[in-house]
Amino acid sequence: MDERRLEVFFYGLFMDQQLLDGKGVHPTDVRPAVVPGFELRIGARAALVPTPAGQVHGLLMKLSHGDIENLYSEPGVRAYRPEPVLRRCSQRRHRRSAVLQPPGATFGR
């Protein structure tokens, strides 16, 4: 039986297919997506920050729980936690997905 896959929005390093391949992570249904109402802030870590007029472009991917655990098992990203976001692909309506955020990121939704 196939493992259940979750939709996750990526906005940074994990959009790199070679990096994912090197970690043994093979996402399915990869497509461009936009998360409105946020902007990307680069500090010690990249994070999404609520900004009413903002929008962040990235990739939406379907990953297994094991893939997500594998990606976020290293010390620099281990403390990231999933947050719900509304995303849009192409001209389709907004749908809920997850985004992983570093600790202390002001999310506010």
What is d(CA 77, CA 74) in angstroms, rounded to the nearest whole number? 6
- Is the pLDDT reported for residue 18 higher than 90? yes
What is d(CA 29, CA 33) in angstroms, rounded to the nearest whole number? 12
User: Domain 5-101: which topology?
Assistant: Hypothetical upf0131 protein ytfp (3.10.490)
Name the region of 66 (left: φ>0; alpha: ψ -120 to 50; beta: rest): alpha
- Is the pLDDT reported for residue 108 higher than 60? no
Name the region of 13 (left: φ>0; alpha: ψ -120 to 50; beta: rest): alpha
Q: What would the DSSP string read from start to end of 16-60?
A: -HHHHHHTT---EEEEEEEEEEEEEEESSSEEEEEEEEEEEEEEE
- Are the CB atoms for 84 and 38 separated by under 8 Å? no
Domain boundaries in the chain? 5-101
Using one digit for the tens of pLDDT, what is the confidence trace for 4-16?
899 999 998 899 9
What is d(CA 38, CA 97) in angstroms, rounded to the nearest whole number? 14
**pTM, full prediction:** 0.83
Of all residues in the chain, what percent carry a pLDDT higher than 70?
89
- Which tokens sit at 67? 């893939």
Per mean pLDDT, which range of 7-16, 43-52, 69-78, 83-92 is the poorest?
83-92
